[in-house]
Amino acid sequence: MLTHLAFKGYLGRRMHLGVCGSIAAYKALDLVRMFRDTGADVGATLTDAARKFVTPLSFEALGASPVHGAMFPAEDGGSEHVFGHLMPGESCHAFLIAPATASTLARLACGLADDMLSCQALAFPAPLVIAPAMNPRMWHNAATQENWARLKARGHVCIEPGCGRTACMEEGQGRLADLNEIYLYGLRAMTPQDLAGKRVMITLGPTREKWDGVRFWSNPSTGTMGACFAVAAWLRGATVHAVAGPGVPWLPAMVQRHDVASARQMFEAAEGLWPAMDIGVFTAAVADYSPVPYGDEKFKKGGAEELVVRFTPTTDILKTLGAAKGAHQRIVGFAAETSAMPENARKKLRAKNADMVVGNIVGRPDSGFQSPTNEVFVTDRNGRQEEWPVQPKTEVAWRVLDWLLQL
């Protein structure tokens, strides 16, 4: 799993997974692994057709429990629970159906309950998360589209199928959506929406300050810390805008991504977004200085023994937007340091008009640039401060958002 998607705080939460008769059914096994890795419990229901493609034993071997099959216990592969059709609605925080076939969409849209999965879905008291997979012609059939529109109108979380070549070798829309996005939608359904209605802007990654036709000034930031914030804020209900420097990792389509290269471009994008935001998290490693450009041609050394490059300062994005902060807005700044962490973090908090500053030591394999983990010092405007030991960046992002909600 991608580092910035590997959230672990779902112990005590429960997901139910419905699997229908599509060749994409085998991908549901990966979803079980992904949800189990978060700490969540997972149950599953396989339709009769799904069991032609995958077996209940495969799901059980990956830790899914219980795994339901036919409606009645006496039938082969059926549930051992007399009230198995009610169990997801009584014990689960989210119900995901992936892949969902055209037949299942029709059952759900019409409120039928003639098999275990449709009966469980009808008894589930919250919106379902539905990810279809089928032949493109079946997907575009008027009946399927009417059923899909009806499910969306009822408030279910409907994930559009992807485009490309399907198992039947036809091109078009009908493929199961990206597993990472399905996983995130399922995770969001299990997550308390304490940032619902909030608009969050994240700056992340490095900037590249061009010098000549092939060279630039930059740093080793990968954008992983900011990506963790972007995903965490979206999972918790926020509308998220990510102003992303070069090389930033994959972000789900649900996060509105604004790709930039230079510090000037990052400032202009962030400045344009900031007035409409409630929260700004400034994780980007922005170049403080930019080289005076040599030009678009490649510089030739020509036998010179040394090279002198002049630099000019870039706009301080955090300080500028901090000065323009409204009463309802909150700012989290990051301080990448090699020493004197607490002193530098507190100084940055005051100088940038931030509400919180998270300082992290860089240049170590377990913290800072190019690391999936961070060791941080956190301080806020009220004088509260804490030192956190090395932990995954996903956990750092989650805890910082928890703290911010208390300010």
Residues 49 and 80 in one domain: yes
pLDDT digits (tens, 9 = 90+) for 180-196: 999 999 999 999 999 99
Closest of 351, 339, 337 to residue 381, by C-alpha = 351
Closest of 154, 237, 247 to residue 194, by C-alpha = 237
Q: How confident is the model at residue 342, as a pLDDT?
A: 92
Q: Specify the higher pLDDT residue, 93 or 305.
A: 93
Q: Is the dihedral of CA 255, 257, 263, 269 positive or negative?
A: negative
Surface-to-core class of residue 300, CB atoms within 10 Å of its CB (0-12 exposed, 13-18 middle, 19+ buried): exposed
> Is 163 in the active site?
no
Q: Does residue 105 surpass a pLDDT of 70?
A: yes
Assign 351 to helix, strand or coil: helix
Q: 269 in a domain, yes or no? A: yes
Q: What is the CATH number of the domain that holds 347?
A: 3.40.50.10300
Residues 157 and 285 in one domain: no
Domain count for the chain: 2
Q: What is the mean pLDDT of residues 26-42?
A: 98
115 is in an annotated binding site: no
Q: Using N-to-C axis directions, what is the helix angle for 393-406 and 224-235, rounded to 10°?
A: 50
Residues 170 and 280 in one domain: no
Residues 231 and 169 in one domain: no
300 is in an annotated binding site: no
Residues 212 and 354 in one domain: yes
Q: 25 in a domain, yes or no? A: yes
Residues 76 and 175 in one domain: yes
Q: 246 in a domain, yes or no? A: yes
Percent with pLDDT over 70 in the chain: 98
Distance from first CA to last CA of the chain, Å, rounded?
33
Give the active site residue among 92, 158, 163, 168. Answer: 168
Q: How confident is the model at residue 79, as a pLDDT?
A: 46
Q: How confident is the model at residue 60, as a pLDDT?
A: 97
Q: What is the CATH number of the domain that holds 144?
A: 3.40.50.1950
Q: How confident is the model at residue 17, as a pLDDT?
A: 98
334 is in an annotated binding site: yes
DSSP result, 19-54: E-SSGGGGHHHHHHHHHHHTT-EEEEEE-TTGGGTS
Q: 50 in a domain, yes or no? A: yes
Q: Does residue 242 surpass a pLDDT of 90?
A: yes
Element (H, E) at 78: none
Residue type, 21: G
Element (H, E) at 94: strand 94-100
Residues 125 and 217 in one domain: no
Q: What is the mean pLDDT of residues 300-308?
A: 82
Q: What is the mean pLDDT of residues 82-92?
A: 89
End position of a domain, from candidates 189, 220, 255: 189
Q: 34 in a domain, yes or no? A: yes
Please give the residue range of the domain that contains residue 353: 199-289+309-406
198 is in an annotated binding site: no
Closest of 331, 344, 343, 352 to residue 407, by C-alpha = 331
298 is in an annotated binding site: yes
Q: Does residue 77 surpass a pLDDT of 90?
A: no
Q: How confident is the model at residue 166, as a pLDDT?
A: 87
Q: Does residue 50 surpass a pLDDT of 90?
A: yes
Assign 248 to helix, strand or coil: coil
Q: How confident is the model at residue 75, as a pLDDT?
A: 54
Residues 57 and 80 in one domain: yes
End position of a domain, from candidates 142, 170, 189: 189
Q: 341 in a domain, yes or no? A: yes
Q: What is the mean pLDDT of residues 139-167?
A: 97
Residues 164 and 240 in one domain: no
Q: How confident is the model at residue 27, as a pLDDT?
A: 98
Query: What is the pLDDT of the chain when averaged over all its residues?
Result: 95
Q: Does residue 80 surpass a pLDDT of 60?
A: no
Task: Go through 303-334 and write b for each residue having 16 or more CB atoms within 10 A of its CB, e for each that does not.
Answer: eeeeeeeeeeebbbbbeebbeebeeebbbbbb
End position of a domain, from candidates 137, 164, 189: 189
Q: Does residue 54 surpass a pLDDT of 70?
A: yes
Residue type, 334: F
For 23, 99, 139, 209, the CA distances from 166, given in Å and listed in that order, are 10, 13, 12, 43
Residues 142 and 234 in one domain: no
Q: How confident is the model at residue 312, as a pLDDT?
A: 97
- pLDDT class of 78 with cuts at 50, 70, 90: very low
Q: 295 in a domain, yes or no? A: no
Dist CA 57 CA 317 (whole Å): 54
Q: 304 in a domain, yes or no? A: no
Dist CA 117 CA 131 (whole Å): 14
Assessment of whether the complete model's pTM goes beyond 0.85:
yes
Residues 69 and 126 in one domain: yes
Residues 147 and 221 in one domain: no
